[in-house]
Amino acid sequence: MLRSTNEATNDLNLLGHPEDLIQLLTPAGDRVADPSYESWVADVTDEQLGSLYEDMVVARRIDTEATALQRQGQLGLWPPLLGQEAAQIGSARTLRTDDFVFSSYRENAVAYCRGVDLTDIVRVWRGTAASGWNPYDIGMATPAVIIGAQTLHATGYAIGCQKDGVDSVAIAYFGDGATSQGDVNEAMIFAASFKAPVVFFCQNNQWAISEPVGLQATRPIADRAPGFGIPSMRVDGNDVLAVMAATRIALDRARRGDGPTFIEAVTYRMGPHTTSDDPSRYVDPEVQQEWAAKDPIIRLERLLKATGLLADELVASVKAKADAVAKEMRDGCYGLEAPEALTVFDNVYATPHSWLERQKSQYAAYLASFEGEK
């Protein structure tokens, strides 16, 4: 069950030294020839390039729409993913429906790829429910807000897949800040020991609220995993093709029974941490500008233009899709009402609970005591 040092070393060679950043598409929109990775996306057709473009545009639209809804007071809070579209779409689009996602709160583009009902995306942020969706419907757990906790859940789920003898994979999404949590390190240790089919997908967006990644790590985050016996890759997180390639390599290793892989997707949080954050207190506008120039959508747009794939129909259909998605989400949001009072007692337990039933019954009596009043 435990892997030998040699195997691990081979894996490391296979994946190259974590420090070089994998890139297949430059900010200028040029394809990069990289033998060890481009083969993993060689099958991506022009059409699929177009749909990746659509996904990213739609994801950004969902994000800006939700941000607007929060500004209008329709949502209590929203954690923008602005700038991280390639990291999320590129990875999530490589997953199979029988794979399972354990994410944090910012992975709404991932949820979109998993086929989430758009209304479900805003449910929790509107405060009308504890849960957005049924994890088993879309193969994605409801987000973990406790930083890092979900990485262990992904590892356990992966061990379960292993026991079931299936080649499904669990993928954990987490941030650069999360890598400081004990849970994330323990997840790597458990995953390595049991050779679990799990992918650790770290979106290094340079910030943990106001804390720069340099406070969490004094070396590239991808450097850590190898020490735990987990091969890692450091990929340009704003390059949807590179992200796809890296994720496919990781998924392939997991399905082949080679165990966990760690991916550091180097990207940037272009928006505030959440709608209640004020980045002007800590973000350097110049750095922000540098990253704006590396925008994931623009670079793919440039490629599509250059290769003549950005036909008017595509532009039009993408816009139409984005509008439709935004409208569906907005309408769904408006339709979300406060739940009935006594539902506050639901789902605490799966089986009858004498104490809670008594409490519920007493509160029902309390509510009843107001009936007839004004």
Partner 1 sequence: MAQQSLSGAINTGLRRALADDPKVVLLGEDIGTLGGVFRVTDGLQKEFGTDRVMDTPLAEAGILGTAVGLAFRGYRPVVEIQFDGFIYPAFDQIVAQVAKLHYRTGGNVKMPITIRVPYGGGIGAVEHHSESPEAYFAHTAGLRVVTCSNPQDAHTMIRQAIACDDPVLFFEPKRRYWVKGEVNEDLDEQTVSMERAHTVQEGTDVTLVAYGPLVITARDAALAAADEGISVEVIDLRSLAPIDFAAVEASVRKTGRLVITHEASQYGGIGAEVAASITERCFYHLESAPARVTGFDVPYPAAKLEEHHLPDLDRILDAVDRVMGRENSLTGWSA
Ligand X SMILES: Cc1ncc(C[n+]2csc(CCOP(=O)(O)OP(=O)(O)O)c2C)c(N)n1
Residues that bind a copy of itself (CB under 8 A): 2-5, 8, 180-183, 185-186, 189, 192-193, 214-220, 223-229
**Whole-angstrom Cα distance, residue 3 to residue 263?**
20
Q: How far is the CB of 4 from a copy of itself (least distance, A)?
A: 8
Instruction: Name the residue among 177, 186, 263, 267 with its Cα closest to residue 217.
Output: 177
Q: Which CA distances in Å does 331 have to 54, 128, 235, 280, 336? A: 21, 15, 37, 32, 9
**Whole-angstrom Cα distance, residue 238 to residue 294?**
7
Active site residue 112: no
State the residue for tokens 């790597």.
188
Decide whether 18 or 83 has the Cβ nearer to a copy of itself.
18
Active site residue 273: yes
Active site residue 224: no
Q: In the 8-state DSSP scheme, what is residue 340? A: P
**Whole-angstrom Cα distance, residue 270 to residue 80?**
8
Q: How far is the CB of 143 from a copy of itself (least distance, A)?
A: 21
Decide whether 51 or 180 has the Cβ nearer to ligand X.
180
State the residue for tokens 């093709």.
241
Buried b (16+ CB within 10 A) or exposed e, 169-186: bbbbbbbbbbbbbebbee
Task: Give the range of 14-22, 86-94, 172-180, 316-324 binding ligand X by CB under 6 A.
Answer: 172-180
Binding-site size for ligand X (CB under 6 A) equals 15
Q: Please select the residue that binds Mg ion; options are 50, 175, 197, 259, rule is CB under 5 A.
A: 175
User: 193 to 252, contacts with Mg ion by CB under 5 A?
Assistant: 205, 207-208
Q: How far is the CB of 149 from ligand X (least distance, A)?
A: 8
145 binds ligand X (CB under 6 A): yes
Non-local (6+) Cβ contacts of 14 within 8 A are: 231
Catalytic residue among 61, 153, 224, 273: 273
Decide whether 228 or 268 has the Cβ nearer to a copy of itself.
228
221 binds ligand X (CB under 6 A): no
**Are 55 and 113 spatial neighbours (Cβ–Cβ below 8 Å)?**
yes
Q: How far is the CB of 274 from ligand X (least distance, A)?
A: 8
Active site residues: 269, 273, 282
Interface positions with ligand X (CB under 6 A): 106, 145-147, 174-178, 205, 207-209, 269, 273
